[in-house]
Chain A
């Protein structure tokens, strides 16, 4: 199962810093989280950048990941 690591305010909201998920795609992950962690609203998650194994994925709906993948939601980085 892939591991979703939660940090910052997501950790605070979820009350835990990681969770195992069966999903292998971004879309399925969002659906699974509505059941596992209803305290994390999908609208909030889709506002964040999605990271698979250390790489920010700019097109998450096109991405899949592996059962051993490490996943993160992080603040989107804009810049100057």
Chain B
């Protein structure tokens, strides 16, 4: 899409098709499902952060009259000792299995060790006490510094660091190293007239989705077993469970329930395979749910990080070199988002000389999971803080500094490709011209600004559009709706078909009723599934033209279709979509369009955020007093939901910056595993989040869409951090800027 285009429905603020059910409580979430004969599962969790399992005896539990099944690691046929002996095991599958039910070692407090299913929830919980486990406690490793120390206890005694210049010869807690470079970093620093160098750290934080993990599973010997669960990707749940339990994909059907938030945290499996084992053993449907405490202790949070940034520049603001060393906590098993962190850290800048080195470090905490733009908030926090420090050092406006060095079409990224058309400069200009940026500041108020980048992805999506005889229809898609995507699909189909969006009912179909769809993640759904919807709708339009042509005895080429009406170019005849559908039976049967695509051309997204905070000098409490999120959406299909994504990302980033953190005891026990003590921002904590939608169309999407779901969480950490630093007149290097930490900074100053 290269030029502005007039739309009828795109860009309108239509009523959300799933909204009524959600606000009235009709919508069915993961734990809402119940079945006849259903029993309950419960998980026994580790009381230690790091320990060997010396013995695990389930005899007493199995003897209990209320207990119908027990599960342990040995119930994973794909990854048990026999599979290992046969050499058919992949390490990632083994780690997934061990994260779901520990094998012979526990690696974090709360890790699942065994499970039971009993007639009632209370009986299942009580039966956990009948499982006997003997542990040999080991010293927990809770920080990056502790993990990479020479004498650090090893979580995985055979783990060798991948990506070193020479193959590792000794095991280590560093799972992987990554290096990216562009230009000549030494020459770049030699050219610099001013250098800024500082280290930063960010805490472990949780996505904070309101709905805990839950599942209901029914094993079936004679047909597909069924899994109901709230997930961002039910096709991937099917694949993972099938791998773990050595099943064919056709033996499983996964139904995505409504989902009460995911933000990346519901892209993996925890309870589902265990419930299937218990259902198979008991012959009964099994329901399992996590408590909020379970969610904190045993689902995947976002990585804590340590970053060192060095930037060289000339006094006119030309950045000559940027260098980063990034450490990411992976939790108990390898696989932090260190890679995307390295790739994104300097992408907002068009700089000749770059060098980034990243490390994936295991620690005795839950295995991390994705969280909106995984890896980018941590690394870009450090980079943006340093850029703001550079701006202050050379006396340059932070927007002007960024404009002078902004990434643009043709900029060579450090990870390889050149950027296509992107909207960073447009976002910076919008920020500069905003009422917020031009406003003055009061006493004890500081202002911060930061940019952010995320790739966005495409991938596989499948859609079926069926039209009914009365001209209404259904859109069967396979992308769980975590942010209003049903409305977007409805609008895009309506735009192509030329009918009111409300005539079409968007349905998230299960794994048996629509072809494969990648997980809802990577800000891909409105882009990629939207492309599939458009393609399916265009197929429907072709059929409508053929059907009208048949009724008029002309060729399809002699029929024009627009605004929901077919016109006979050879005469005066007109037929509406509904009239053509009413005659479908006589012209060839059901009108149905399908699309199965692997979408290419995802448009990268940039954002710029401005934050004003007021700091109480006596308590260190920080309040956000004004906040503006500016982001390139390509084209906003439904502006309200685009703004909602901007606001949601901003609020989660503000929480990350101001209060959220996992607090651990020396023994590795999380001490704030509840929303009372793990403080996410509430509506009453925040001012209205102002938004500015910038639209630089993505030429690869028919309507110009870029993803918008993730980029909004990237800038807030540095925008808030810089604002706090300005308010207190002290550098901020560590998040969260919670009252005790800010007060400590203030006291150290005085």
Residues of A within 8 A of B (CB): 5, 7-9, 11-12, 51, 53-59, 70, 72-75, 77-80
Contact = CB atoms under 8 A, between A and B. Distances in A.
B689 to A, nearest CB: 20
Interface stretch (B37-45, B212-220, B365-373, B738-746): B365-373
Interface stretch (B244-252, B262-270, B305-313, B716-724): B262-270
B522 A79 contact: yes
Nearest to A7: B416
B157 interface: no
A30 to B, nearest CB: 17
A53 B459 CA distance: 18
Given A55-B417, A59-B600, A74-B415, A79 B264 contact: yes
A80 B372 contact: yes
Nearest to A8: B180
A55 B521 contact: no
Contacts of B180: 7-8
Interface in B163-206: 163, 165, 178-182
Given A77-B522, A80-B374, A9 B417 contact: no
Contacts of B182: 7
A53 B207 CA distance: 35
Interface of B: 163, 165, 178-182, 207, 262-265, 267, 339-340, 343, 369-374, 414-420, 454-455, 457-460, 521-524, 598-602, 700, 710
A48 B108 CA distance: 31
Contacts of A57: 600
Among A7, A9, A70, A79, max chain B CB count under 10 A is at: A79
26 contacts: A7-B180, A7-B182, A8-B415, A9-B178, A11-B181, A12-B165, A51-B416, A54-B417, A55-B700, A56-B457, A56-B458, A74-B416, A75-B415, A77-B455, A77-B522, A78-B370, A79-B264, A79-B373, A79-B457, A79-B521, A79-B522, A80-B207, A80-B262, A80-B369, A80-B374, A80-B522
A75 B415 CA distance: 9
Nearest to B419: A54
Secondary structure at the B interface, as helix, strand, loop or mixed, is loop
Given A5-B416, A75-B340, A75-B415, A80 B521 contact: yes
Given A8-B179, A8-B180, A77-B522, 11 more contacts: A8-B415, A9-B178, A12-B179, A53-B418, A75-B343, A78-B521, A79-B523, A80-B262, A80-B264, A80-B265, A80-B369
B263 to A, nearest CB: 6
B599 A54 contact: no
A19 to B, nearest CB: 14
Contacts of B179: 8-9, 11-12
A9 B485 CA distance: 37
Contacts of A73: 416
Contact of A7 (B181, B267, B522): B181
Nearest to A75: B339
Nearest to A6: B416
Contacts of A11: 179, 181
A79 B415 contact: no
A71 to B, nearest CB: 9
A60 to B, nearest CB: 10
A45 B104 CA distance: 34
Contacts of B415: 7-8, 72, 74-75
Contact of A59 (B181, B267, B419, B598): B598
Closest 3 CB pairs of A and B: A80-B264, A79-B522, A72-B416
B325 to A, nearest CB: 15
A16 B598 CA distance: 32
Given A7-B416, A72-B417, A80-B370, A55 B710 contact: no
A68 to B, nearest CB: 14
B417 A79 contact: no
Contacts of B524: 79
A66 B602 CA distance: 21
Nearest to A9: B163
Contacts of B416: 5, 7, 51, 72-74
B236 to A, nearest CB: 10
Contacts of A75: 339-340, 343, 415
B414 A7 contact: yes
A54 B642 CA distance: 26
A12 B357 CA distance: 13
A72 B182 CA distance: 14
Nearest to A5: B416
B710 A79 contact: yes
A8 B339 CA distance: 10
Nearest to B265: A80
Given A8-B179, A77-B457, A56 B602 contact: yes
Contact of A55 (B265, B598, B600): B600
Contacts of A54: 417-420
Nearest to B356: A8
B368 to A, nearest CB: 11
Among A56, A58, A77, max chain B CB count under 10 A is at: A77
A79 B527 CA distance: 14
Given A79-B374, A80-B373, A8 B178 contact: yes
B208 to A, nearest CB: 12
B522 A78 contact: yes
Contacts of A56: 417, 457-458, 600, 602
Nearest to A62: B598
Nearest to A79: B522
B521 A58 contact: no
